[in-house]
Structure 1
Amino acid sequence: MELLIEQYKQGYSMILKEIEGLTEEQFLFKPSEKDWSIREIIIHISDAELVHIHRMKAVLSENNPVLTAFDQDLWTTRLKSQQVDHQLYLELFKTMRESFQPILLQLTDQDYLRIGTHNQDGQLTFKEIFEHSIEHIDTHIGQIRRVKSLFR
């Protein structure tokens, strides 16, 4: 579990490294109408972290809680993520990750096996949710790289 916790800790610095030196124009660039800009990706990462932490806390403290999905595309468009300060969301992401780390350090092996029931994906263990939150960053770093490569 120590390796997972270390990977979790690295999420923020990995994002910072990927966006270092980008211009405002690059943050706002959308390869197509349906694609997200780097700004929207960053805000989505923070939104998803909020959801992941809620799910993890629910699983750790409640007996088989219901975990609900969210429509990431609607959150991005209806909440006008393209017009929001991504720096604020980066700080929020950093703070959420840092605030959850002391909880992670106290977990037992049994805690990692606790479950919740996702309304679309069925039963999930804490460990599965935690691993997903880590993998989520890798996925979106790949997406940021793709957007950067298409910027002209």
Structure 2
Amino acid sequence: MKEFDLEKLKYPIGKFETPLEYTASYISNKIEEIASFPEKLKKETLHLNNEQLNTRYRPDGWTVRQVIHHCAESHMNCFIRIKWALTENNPVIKAYDETLWSELYDNLHMPIEPTLSLLEGLHFRIAYILKNLSEADLEKSFIHPENNSEIAIKRMIGMYAWHGNHHLAHITTLKKHKNWE
């Protein structure tokens, strides 16, 4: 497989790009993407059989099942990070090893339905809290210990909207390639 093809499989919608300006429209659109993610994911995956769920979206990549469970784990961390940023002064958050988490038994074997249900409630809560933030709240931030970077809630909104769309595209690209439509 060509390097370009592998890069396109890794980043089917491209890498996250920080906007030049966080307009109200940008924030609102990204919150809507976050809110609608679980339904889109459910629509694309609920009908897949175990063989399809255990298919890797790219060589050396995760299976569809792992991607679904990863989204819930990552977005649970997002929710907690928002809460920390809103209630503490620029806290240092806890990082986690998403690769090791993805290799745990539940991520490899568990049915996807409970995770899809978890995502529905989780994203409702994330979108609910985000829709009710003030301008000052959007500026609140946390420190990510892996690179000591400060991440504001307004940036997180774009990052997690991208993250959901990124993994959804892994699944839809695989389905199209395999003619699973």
Provide the TM-score with structure 1 as the length reference.
Answer: 0.88
1:124 paired residue number:
151
- Residues of 1 paired with 2:58 and 2:139: CA distance? 41
1:86 paired residue number:
112
CA contact (8 A) 1:26 1:151 kept: no
CA contact (8 A) 2:57 2:170 kept: no
Is 1:66 matched up with 2:92? yes
1:108 paired residue number:
134
2:163 paired residue number:
136
**Deviation, structure 1 residue 29:** 1.9
- Residues of 2 paired with 1:36 and 1:147: CA distance? 12
Higher mean Cα deviation, 61-70 or 97-106?
97-106
Identity %: 23
Give the match's secondary structure for 1:70.
Answer: coil
Greater share of helix residues, 1 or 2? Answer: 1
**Once the two structures are superposed, what CA deviation does each residue of 1:21-58 show, in whole Å capped at 9, x if it has no partner?**
32222112236773211111100000101111111111
Q: Kindly provide the amino acid, as one letter, of the partner of residue 123 in structure 1.
A: E
CA contact (8 A) 1:46 1:93 kept: yes
CA contact (8 A) 1:31 1:150 kept: no
Give the match's secondary structure for 2:62.
Answer: coil
Provide the TM-score with structure 2 as the length reference.
Answer: 0.75
1:54 to 76, 80, 90: 80
Q: Kindly provide the amino acid, as one letter, of the partner of residue 29 in structure 1.
A: T
CA contact (8 A) 1:4 1:131 kept: yes
2:50 paired residue number:
24
Q: Kindly provide the amino acid, as one letter, of the partner of residue 64 in structure 2.
A: I
Unpaired segments ≥5 residues, structure 2 = 1-26
Higher mean Cα deviation, 32-41 or 69-78?
32-41
Give the match's secondary structure for 2:60.
Answer: coil
CA contact (8 A) 1:118 1:124 kept: yes
CA contact (8 A) 2:85 2:142 kept: yes
Unpaired segments ≥5 residues, structure 1 = none
CA contact (8 A) 1:37 1:147 kept: no
